Chain A
Amino acid sequence: DAMVIQNPRYQVTQFGKPVTLSCSQTLNHNVMYWYQQKSSQAPKLLFHYYDKDFNNEADTPDNFQSRRPNTSFCFLDIRSPGLGDAAMYLCATNEGRNSYNEQFFGPGTRLTVL
Chain B
Amino acid sequence: DQQVKQNSPSLSVQEGRISILNCDYTNSMFDYFLWYKKYPAEGPTFLISISSIKDKNEDGRFTVFLNKSAKHLSLHIVPSQPGDSAVYFCAARGSARQLTFGSGTQLTVLP
Q: How large is the interface on B (under 10, 10 to 19, 20 to 34, 35 or more residues)?
A: 20 to 34
- B93-A42 in contact (CB<8A): no
- A40-B103 in contact (CB<8A): yes
Neighbour of B102 across the interface among A42, A48, A102, CB < 8 A: A42
**Residues of A participating in the B interface, judged by any CB pair closer than 8 Å:** 4, 6, 31, 40-45, 48, 50, 90, 92, 94, 96, 99-100, 102-108
Cross-chain pairs A/B with CB under 8 angstroms, 25 sampled: A6-B43, A31-B97, A40-B103, A40-B104, A41-B103, A42-B4, A42-B100, A42-B102, A42-B103, A43-B89, A45-B98, A45-B100, A90-B43, A92-B43, A94-B97, A96-B97, A99-B97, A100-B49, A103-B99, A104-B46, A105-B44, A106-B43, A107-B41, A107-B43, A108-B43
**Residues of B participating in the A interface, judged by any CB pair closer than 8 Å:** 2, 4, 9, 32, 34, 36, 41-46, 49, 51, 89, 93, 96-104
7 additional A-B residue pairs with CB within 8 Å, beyond A31-B97, A90-B44: A42-B2, A42-B102, A42-B103, A43-B101, A44-B101, A96-B97, A100-B93
